[in-house]
Structure 1
Amino acid sequence: MDRFYLLDASFCPSVNQGRTPICVSSPERAVASQMTAFTAALQACTGQSFHRYGALHDFSVREYRTFWRCFLQWSEGLAWSGSPEPVCVGDDCEHARFFPNLLLNYADNLLGLEVAGPDAPALTACHADGRRERLTRGELRERVARAAHALSQLGLREGDRVVAVMRNDAEAIVAALAVTALGATLSTAAAEMSVETLLDRFAPLAPRLLLAHTAQRAFDTGIPLADNVAGLAAALPSLQGIIQLDDGALPATVSQPVHALADLIGRGDAAQFSFQRFAFNHPLFIMFSSGTTGKPKCIVHGAGGSLLEHLKEHRLHSDLRPGDRMYFHTTCAWMMWNWQLSALASGVEIVTYDGPIATVDALWRLVAQERVTVFGTSPAYLKMCEDAGLVPGQQFDLGALRAMMSTGSVLFDAQFEWVRDHVKALPLQSISGGTDILGCFVLGNPNLPVYAGEAQCKSLALDVQAWEHGAPTSGIGELVCANPFPSRPLGFYGDVDGQGFHKAYFSANAGVWTHGDRIEFPPEGTARLHGRSDGVLNVRGVNVGPGEIYRVLRDIPQIREAMVVEQRAQTAPPDRTHAQRYEQRMVLLLVLQHGVALTGALAAHVRRELARRASPTHVPDRILAVPELPATHNGKLSEAAARNAVNGLPVGNASALRNPDCLDAIRNHPALNLAARELPAPGTSREQLERHLQALWERLFDFAPIGRDDNFFDLGGHSLLAARLLADVHQSTGRTIPLATLLFAPTIAGLAAAIDEAASPRTSPNLVPVRSGTGSPLFLVHGASGSVMECWGMVNALRTSRPVYGLQARGLDGEQPTQRRVEDMAASYIEQIRSLQPRGPYALAGYSFGGLVVYEMAQQLTRAGEQVELLCLLDTYVCEHFLPWRTWMRYCWNYPGWQLRKLRAVPAAQRVRYLKYALRRAAEGVGMRRGGITCKPDAFTESLPPALRQVRETMVRAMTTYRPRPYHASPVLYLRAAVRQQQRGDPLSLWRRVALGGLTIAEVPCSHFDLVLEPNLQAVAAILDEGLAGA
């Protein structure tokens, strides 16, 4: 045992790689754990040696029959009869059946007196009014036996279906165990659910009995509970009776016989009742899917599979044992209620609470007062505590608390750290599985370290993998289980041919269970969840997991909750194809902290953080502040409901939500209808003009409100948006505002002043100030867009004290003719910079195409006797015809393969048209090298305003005709994007040949177009700063 622990808990590759665990189990705890004890027993049984958990897990999935047989026989206090052989009939996950010759009784095993004696505590029921009810195992077993005997006298028997509307208290547990003791099948729901919601779940089952709380409590809202129960009973024609769990009065309209649980317990005879054993796979629970995309699915779970899986998770993975007191914050509608109930089989005392969270610290107070040893909660509650500034470890006596669990959604890294720093240093187990399997795929392990943001391990005997495109992947993928497991549901109730069950779990990946979560498995064997796969967004061809966004947003203190969904907005006339008419947009819904408003500054901060810490693809198109997000009765957020609301579609089953009214606030949000809003007139006053500009900005950015001092570029503005904005300004005011105006007047207030005061020139100057400073300036030349606007963020990330000036192309406003040769641009720009700095040394930088211009400027300045202190090319490509011969031949060799792969990706019906397009573009390329221009722009260029289109076409033509000549002066700093542009020749071979004064290469791990975007612009700015410092 010692050897098993030492190799498993202290040897961890991740530590050697710089990863520090958030918590490490003590050697004493690991040696004494039930995981260690079972491992030793399995080694003795099989003759195998399991020095690490990975070896144990590999064996358990490879030899799952041996594992389950050994676990069944090892589990102390487990009462069963019959034969454990065969362990499993069948080898495919969808149809395999476990222990067909084995008999057991679920309730009997939960209440057995061998694992813990009759005087051991079993249940503490805590009420909102402060009352406590405590039962020993003997007392609880006695009550259950009495109730079961009385129910049998009412005719309840094996195979009957019983439904329940219950609060989380002692009566709920007694009634549930009494029903299952008789072999009947139980389905539970929470007391706050509406009649419609309950009927969606219960009506298909044709239940015989209804268990229900009926008394009204001070914290209840909405329709009285008794009226709900009466309405439910009236709509269930199969119902033969109601078991009332408290002393509330039901309306006289109830026609079924009503029996009080207390009376049944009083007249039942425990001595006359015996716990009959039933087939291992007899139906125990019918659970329900959330129902947000249609009627809830009725998921049938077998008694033996549920019990055996829960025993494994409780005893081995959670190390639960007699003496533990476990409280899990749950309702009777959530599978964690069933999961906690099964902990009785391990001798655990369970703690329940039937009230609301009246104050944020309510649950911590309960944990402290009841000396809870294992506390189960959710990321949402931990976030609530963090936002409230709680320090539970100082505010309460948590000396008894030894472990915590969290489930329901992704638990982020910072929440692990918050628990460690504000609660105590203990194992925080992120567990994940669900209602579908009534258990966990990934969870805790008493012998393994805890890493922030990760579940400790895969569940034993479950071959959990990450799949992508129908095969295992080493990165993020679909969570699948590739082997049979006992807690797989028996099927869906009413799904006679099994087609619904197959479609739900086995149609996506043949032969394996597909769960619907996104997951990855780091090398250490841990697991990191990335949210639901049905919430994955496709943003301009790139899959974006919402979990990647939420992980960033949870660190922004102004945000309480967030949800990101996809909107399909019509952007073209009906005569276009469906794909052409609709554009996919990412919409971010935010619930902000009390007193916080969604300002332009906050929206800009959100966008910057997402771009910096995730990628520009993760930046939403729209950000909306909403009062609340739709949630199911289990407390899980419903992305499907929000998605429908954002798209103006009806929600399939609003009764599945506990707060369906919030959907109207989302559906009718003004920011979703900005394009259709009537613009206020520019008017005659500055105030009216600002209101008009605000409306223009809000329509342009698809975001409201935008403040008068919010920065155009911080909001995500670029040259194309600027051109559209100023075109709208011209149409509404008659004023022609140069594009460069936004560089020095980037706010609504500044732009209004520029318009009102007629202070700006009619055409954009070539040389524009971008950032003030002291000393000799850095001159930055535009890319193919003709504007330096795309470099705004990079410039503002520079630490140098120097001023920065941008050089913009002629013709941006359509008022000047464009320049068609790089040499002409260089000469013109030199004239401009000399008007500001007559003599060198000069510092020059150019992004993309601009690198060619600054290279030629350096050539001309050097020939004129001037000195260039810095010449920086930001990932500048050259026309392939000017590459050295070997590079050019390699490019020509690869080019047909590139084109063939592109052609194969084109739908067959469009290939002829694509070939014509490719041939035309090739012919135009030859023409441009001879001095011509393109006769028809590509799709992107065609979408630009005419002036920008002309500039872009001119830049493309200038690039195809410019051959860089040898440069003998100062070294060239070449900043290279590590991800090469597709179908482009590598320019470095040319720059190495012509930069005779030396070439310094710095690389940034991104693509060409992401070089000047977050998070890469910080690295680019640092390299430029270093170059300027050494100039």
Structure 2
Amino acid sequence: MDRFYLLDASFCPSVNQGRNPIFSSSPERAVASQMTAFTAALQTCAGRSFHRYDALHDFSVREYRTFWRCFLQWSQGLAWSGSPDPVCVGDDCEHARFFPNLLLNYADNLLGLEVAGPDAPALTACHADGRPEHLTRGELRERVARTAHALSQLGLREGDRVVAVMRNDAEAIVAALAVTALGATLSTAAAEMSVETLLDRFAPLAPRLLLAHTTQRAFDTGIPLADNVAKLAAALPSLQGIIQLDDGGLPASVSQPVHTLADLIGRGDAQQFSFQRFPFNHPLFIMFSSGTTGKPKCIVHGAGGTLLEHLKEHRLHSDLRPGDRMYFHTTCAWMMWNWQLSALASGTEIVTYDGPIATVDALWRLVADERVTVFGTSPAYLKMCEDAGLVPGQQFDLGALRAMMSTGSVLFDAQFEWVRDHVKALPLQSISGGTDILGCFVLGNPNLPVYAGEAQCKSLALGVQAWEHGAPTSGIGDLVCTNPFPSRPLGFYGDANGEAFHKAYFSANAGVWTHGDRIEFPPEGTARLHGRSDGVLNVRGINVGPGEIYRVLRDIPEIREAMVVEQRARTAPPDRTHAERYEQRMVLLLVLQDGVALTGALAARVRRDLARRASPTHVPDRILAVPALPATHNGKLSEAAARNAVNGLPVGNAAALRNPECLDAIRNHPALNLAARELPAPGSSREQLERHLQALWERLFDFAPIGRDDNFFDLGGHSLLAARLLADVHQSTGRTIPLATLLFTPTIAGLAAAIDEAASPRLAPNLVPVRGGTGAPLFLVHGASGSVMECWGMVNALRTTRPVYGLQARGLDGEQPTQRRVEDMAASYIEQIRTLQPGGPYALAGYSFGGLVVFEMAQQLTRAGEQVELLCLLDTYVGEQFLPWRTWMHYCWNYPGWQWRKLRAVPAAQRLRYLRYALSRAAEGVGMRRGRLTCRPDAFTESLPPALRQVRETIGRAMTTYHPRPYHGGPVLYLRAAVRQQRGDPLTLWRRVALRGLTIAEVPCSHFDLVQEPNLQAVAAILDEGLAGT
């Protein structure tokens, strides 16, 4: 066939001359694409010519058996045996089965050495601390084979089910591929998910093994991972073992055998392992529905269908090939993790990242540093970058980046323009499908132009259409697929007769897959998504089922009814040159019990409970109290009607509702348009100032209404939000308000009084009242942040009637110089507390680093002849070099083991680089112990405002250089949390220096959760006893 004729056919679809594409591929790129190469092969196989992509797609749908046979044989490096005949048994989508006589191994095909050699790069795993790991295809294949061999020795077999709670790192990939290499079935979840949410997914599977990360990281929140894993294991009676993916520990309560991945790799023998081939339709992954109407459904995906569909999407639609480096920002709970994993089968190197987005530009930095060629992200992240004013194309070297993908929610027109104008001119592919098919219905095409707001094309061999009322429509309709396809799930686990599977996808249109999305297909053959057609919410790329939210809210007695819907909110007015800008929000509508109002405290509880019992993804963007929720005449709540009202749209059939009048209250609720609301001027009166501050608070917290007496900290405020708020106050009023002001005036009314220079306590610069009372005060010293705001909840949980004052670090205001020695801080703080309490006895407490300061304060006060009635250290650590000799030697003995286990996990070719990194960090530690500040702050510290960053860095230096000496004063009370990994146990030192005794009270939580829910009551009770002398 004439090469130029093929190019013309592929590259030039029917174009609406009234619209211009936002990007067009070059003819040279189209000629060289794998889409063009496969089209030529299919033409030879079928004896047909395809003048245009729509002709190619129509044939692939109509003659899907020919298409899939040709693709199977064309795909380089695809290893299989048996017969490709018959290609498909059955003609209806619901019951058809592909390649029943074909055998393959999913992991073997991902790690094959024909498509790319053993020295080709396979994996780069980036960590939150900046340390990368690199594996070649040969190294990854050997590591997987060794792990699989060791797992087989533990008895893991074909058909066994394995569940995983993992971070997105190299260990997760090795373990996952080893499980699939044995023919076992894998289900994955993210490390931040709660036990309740995990059990909804994993309990029905009766898994044999659990894979889990257990080491707590600084950015982790909530229950420690090890405790979460222990609770999960205890609730899974079928579990026969746990595979730890890192070097963290597990509680002694765990009854199952525990193995580490490092040990499995060490004792496995790659030479004795062979990649056995299994039937094409053997179960590979079990994914999960979102739980709209109940617990999530367990969706079983076959190995062959998953592999073929991903190969088609990666090679043809994405043009992935050896030499590409793809990074898709995802967690192990999202199908895009599985999707990216399969890119290994195309010879592509995949890049992973296991940390938080500490700064807005973090992912662009990763893309630049790792020379990523294909970057997968979400509309939410692009919106975040736009709001932050980023210009990634100027700020980073993106020369290697050739394409971007976006999924998870609707990518709007303006975001295509933002990428073109602020990143670079490249194909931005809006891809959409779902967990249900573990693939895409609409996606990119290297030969076609890109139109803003639209996916480039329908996926080959998938008969995707828009239907309305059971028939095709030229407008917006339900997304359906009319023909059989290999990646259709095998069914739901535990759904023996297929009834639930039929109801989910085939009951609306017999024999036709009905997906649950709304879609339209413009004349160019592109696709425009319009969100979900059911109640499922899509939050930052993750489907969230309202049922998971409602289960948590049922336990809050103030709530009578609840409904959660999506709002498509316009964030900027349109003009003649730019498309309208929208973002998607989760809106929670609450009907409260009689006499109950939606206060800041109640809203804070809703957010806190959802984050703790479900996940942060389940926390709504807006919480609205409404008189009633729309319901049909038979009493069923109508989410569609509420969603239309929230979005300002007409309700299609109001007569079907028994209370349509409630829609006006929802539609006109003022909290739905906070961003668009004009900020009232501060004015000249107290009332006007309070209205201005209320608008600032509502914009800051993205929640309304906020009352004048609602507490800043109950709403979720912390030191960073306080800094942002007071910066806004300075900009609008000209007044500079100290950060500590919010500690003693944490309400709109109190802040207005402070701005108006009403009477406020005249104290030393860093001594602030936290809680009122009578009697001698408790003085509380800040932790590493420099502020006592993190202890607000704990202070308010105290039952004592004594007042509490906080001591904050010098330098928080950016004006005072910081202090670099604990001894200097202690002397300064003593001088300040004496302005309030000239003589003892003193009550002192300090959280974390603050414990070192109050210990030194007690030393200096005792030497001055003063009495200290309470000295309380809240989980305070010391520099390991100051530990007693035996503890120091124990730490030194174990430290090489910790580092050795890390080093063993690094490929041989990368160990020198890792050693250089480790030595540089060690050198910085030595420098800090000698009084120097770190020259390379961590990602979190780097993201802080300059004043807070300076305070944090100087406190870090002070922490490493302070040597506690013997204390001759009264007994010391020590609150102990779980021992932190890779830190020396400080209790041996505190026992030695507390000459008159050390009282230890244990709280079973992590160090960082000691001053967070649900541990506040326990910690406060211990402090109350200490203050009472009991």
Kindly state the Cα deviation for residue 85 of structure 1 after the two structures are TM-superposed.
Answer: 0.2
CA contact (8 A) 1:843 1:871 kept: yes
- Taking a change above 3 Å as real, the CA distance of residues 661 and 89 of structure 1, as seen in their structure-2 partners, is farther
Deviation string 1:182-231 (CA, Å, 9 cap, x unpaired) is: 00000000000011111000000000000000011111011000000000
Deviates more, 1:149-158 or 1:798-807: 798-807
Distance 1:326 1:817 in 2: 46
Kindly state the Cα deviation for residue 293 of structure 1 after the two structures are TM-superposed.
Answer: 3.2
- Taking a change above 3 Å as real, the CA distance of residues 147 and 445 of structure 1, as seen in their structure-2 partners, is same
Deviates more, 1:944-953 or 1:682-691: 944-953
For the residue of structure 2 that corresponds to 1:466, the secondary structure is: strand
- Taking a change above 3 Å as real, the CA distance of residues 918 and 54 of structure 1, as seen in their structure-2 partners, is same
Distance 2:819 2:121 in 1: 88
Deviation string 1:755-810 (CA, Å, 9 cap, x unpaired) is: 99999999999999999999999999999999999999999999999999999999
Distance 2:839 2:198 in 1: 82
- Taking a change above 3 Å as real, the CA distance of residues 391 and 89 of structure 1, as seen in their structure-2 partners, is same
CA contact (8 A) 2:224 2:1005 kept: no
Distance 1:528 1:640 in 2: 20
Deviates more, 1:765-774 or 1:519-528: 765-774
Match in the other structure for 2:1016: 1017
Deviates more, 1:857-866 or 1:255-264: 857-866
Deviation string 1:521-579 (CA, Å, 9 cap, x unpaired) is: 01110000000011599999999999999999999999999999499999999999999
- Taking a change above 3 Å as real, the CA distance of residues 843 and 561 of structure 1, as seen in their structure-2 partners, is same
Deviation string 1:421-468 (CA, Å, 9 cap, x unpaired) is: 000000000000010000000000000000000000000000000000
Distance 2:236 2:907 in 1: 53
Deviation string 1:920-962 (CA, Å, 9 cap, x unpaired) is: 9999999999999999999999999999999999999999999
Distance 1:107 1:994 in 2: 57
Distance 1:856 1:208 in 2: 53
Deviates more, 1:610-619 or 1:449-458: 610-619
For the residue of structure 1 that corresponds to 2:693, the secondary structure is: helix
- Taking a change above 3 Å as real, the CA distance of residues 423 and 567 of structure 1, as seen in their structure-2 partners, is closer
Kindly state the Cα deviation for residue 291 of structure 1 after the two structures are TM-superposed.
Answer: 1.9
- Taking a change above 3 Å as real, the CA distance of residues 818 and 398 of structure 1, as seen in their structure-2 partners, is closer
Kindly state the Cα deviation for residue 17 of structure 1 after the two structures are TM-superposed.
Answer: 2.2
Deviates more, 1:183-192 or 1:611-620: 611-620
Distance 1:987 1:471 in 2: 71
- Taking a change above 3 Å as real, the CA distance of residues 317 and 828 of structure 1, as seen in their structure-2 partners, is closer
Kindly state the Cα deviation for residue 28 of structure 1 after the two structures are TM-superposed.
Answer: 1.0
Deviates more, 1:574-583 or 1:782-791: 782-791
- Taking a change above 3 Å as real, the CA distance of residues 473 and 249 of structure 1, as seen in their structure-2 partners, is same
CA contact (8 A) 1:941 1:949 kept: yes
CA contact (8 A) 2:9 2:50 kept: no
Deviates more, 1:556-565 or 1:202-211: 556-565
Kindly state the Cα deviation for residue 1010 of structure 1 after the two structures are TM-superposed.
Answer: 56
Kindly state the Cα deviation for residue 46 of structure 1 after the two structures are TM-superposed.
Answer: 1.2
Deviation string 1:716-747 (CA, Å, 9 cap, x unpaired) is: 99999999999999999999999999999999
Distance 2:525 2:328 in 1: 26
Deviates more, 1:77-86 or 1:833-842: 833-842
For the residue of structure 2 that corresponds to 1:123, the secondary structure is: strand
CA contact (8 A) 2:7 2:30 kept: no
Task: Report the identity percentage.
Answer: 93
Kindly state the Cα deviation for residue 510 of structure 1 after the two structures are TM-superposed.
Answer: 1.1
CA contact (8 A) 1:289 1:297 kept: yes
- Taking a change above 3 Å as real, the CA distance of residues 469 and 644 of structure 1, as seen in their structure-2 partners, is closer
Q: What TM-score do the two structures reach when normalised by structure 2?
A: 0.56
Deviates more, 1:715-724 or 1:502-511: 715-724
Distance 1:652 1:795 in 2: 52
Kindly state the Cα deviation for residue 51 of structure 1 after the two structures are TM-superposed.
Answer: 1.4
Kindly state the Cα deviation for residue 131 of structure 1 after the two structures are TM-superposed.
Answer: 0.8
For the residue of structure 2 that corresponds to 1:872, the secondary structure is: strand
Deviates more, 1:935-944 or 1:514-523: 935-944
Distance 1:789 1:332 in 2: 34
Match in the other structure for 2:993: 994
Deviates more, 1:526-535 or 1:365-374: 526-535
Distance 2:892 2:328 in 1: 65
CA contact (8 A) 1:43 1:50 kept: yes
Distance 1:221 1:903 in 2: 27
CA contact (8 A) 2:16 2:523 kept: no
CA contact (8 A) 2:566 2:586 kept: yes
- Taking a change above 3 Å as real, the CA distance of residues 212 and 48 of structure 1, as seen in their structure-2 partners, is same
| Structure ID, larger Rg | 1
Kindly state the Cα deviation for residue 474 of structure 1 after the two structures are TM-superposed.
Answer: 0.7
Deviation string 1:838-867 (CA, Å, 9 cap, x unpaired) is: 999999999999999999999999999999
- Taking a change above 3 Å as real, the CA distance of residues 767 and 45 of structure 1, as seen in their structure-2 partners, is same
CA contact (8 A) 2:293 2:545 kept: no
- Taking a change above 3 Å as real, the CA distance of residues 183 and 952 of structure 1, as seen in their structure-2 partners, is closer
Deviates more, 1:224-233 or 1:928-937: 928-937
- Taking a change above 3 Å as real, the CA distance of residues 788 and 474 of structure 1, as seen in their structure-2 partners, is farther
Deviation string 1:22-71 (CA, Å, 9 cap, x unpaired) is: 11011111100000000000111111001110110000000000000000
Deviates more, 1:465-474 or 1:624-633: 624-633
Distance 1:500 1:762 in 2: 68
Q: What TM-score do the two structures reach when normalised by structure 1?
A: 0.56
Deviates more, 1:116-125 or 1:798-807: 798-807
Aligned residue pair count: 1030
CA contact (8 A) 1:763 1:813 kept: no
Kindly state the Cα deviation for residue 341 of structure 1 after the two structures are TM-superposed.
Answer: 0.2
- Taking a change above 3 Å as real, the CA distance of residues 831 and 103 of structure 1, as seen in their structure-2 partners, is closer
CA contact (8 A) 1:482 1:511 kept: yes
For the residue of structure 2 that corresponds to 1:792, the secondary structure is: helix
Kindly state the Cα deviation for residue 336 of structure 1 after the two structures are TM-superposed.
Answer: 0.2
Kindly state the Cα deviation for residue 251 of structure 1 after the two structures are TM-superposed.
Answer: 0.3
- Taking a change above 3 Å as real, the CA distance of residues 816 and 256 of structure 1, as seen in their structure-2 partners, is closer
Kindly state the Cα deviation for residue 911 of structure 1 after the two structures are TM-superposed.
Answer: 83
Distance 2:892 2:712 in 1: 43
Match in the other structure for 1:331: 331
Deviates more, 1:641-650 or 1:956-965: 956-965
- Taking a change above 3 Å as real, the CA distance of residues 493 and 867 of structure 1, as seen in their structure-2 partners, is closer
- Taking a change above 3 Å as real, the CA distance of residues 1007 and 58 of structure 1, as seen in their structure-2 partners, is farther
Distance 2:618 2:500 in 1: 34
CA contact (8 A) 1:103 1:278 kept: yes
Deviation string 1:596-636 (CA, Å, 9 cap, x unpaired) is: 99999999999999999999999999996999999999999
What's the RMSD between the two structures over aligned residues? Answer: 29.9
Distance 2:929 2:164 in 1: 79
Point out 4+ residue stretches in structure 1 off by more than 2 angstroms. Answer: 1-17, 535-980, 982-1031
Deviates more, 1:1012-1021 or 1:172-181: 1012-1021
- Taking a change above 3 Å as real, the CA distance of residues 2 and 702 of structure 1, as seen in their structure-2 partners, is same
CA contact (8 A) 1:4 1:51 kept: no
- Taking a change above 3 Å as real, the CA distance of residues 249 and 500 of structure 1, as seen in their structure-2 partners, is same
For the residue of structure 1 that corresponds to 2:999, the secondary structure is: strand
- Taking a change above 3 Å as real, the CA distance of residues 60 and 901 of structure 1, as seen in their structure-2 partners, is farther
- Taking a change above 3 Å as real, the CA distance of residues 103 and 910 of structure 1, as seen in their structure-2 partners, is closer
Match in the other structure for 2:100: 100
Question: Which runs of no fewer than 5 residues in structure 1 stay unpaired?
Answer: none
For the residue of structure 1 that corresponds to 2:805, the secondary structure is: strand
CA contact (8 A) 1:156 1:184 kept: yes
Deviation string 1:273-325 (CA, Å, 9 cap, x unpaired) is: 00000000000000011224310110000000000000000000000000000
Distance 1:761 1:366 in 2: 48
Distance 1:237 1:272 in 2: 32
- Taking a change above 3 Å as real, the CA distance of residues 1007 and 916 of structure 1, as seen in their structure-2 partners, is same
CA contact (8 A) 2:326 2:348 kept: yes
CA contact (8 A) 1:587 1:621 kept: yes
- Taking a change above 3 Å as real, the CA distance of residues 547 and 5 of structure 1, as seen in their structure-2 partners, is farther
Deviation string 1:351-400 (CA, Å, 9 cap, x unpaired) is: 00000000000000000000000000000000000000000000000000
CA contact (8 A) 1:531 1:546 kept: no
CA contact (8 A) 1:737 1:763 kept: no
Distance 1:1010 1:227 in 2: 13
Distance 2:205 2:973 in 1: 73
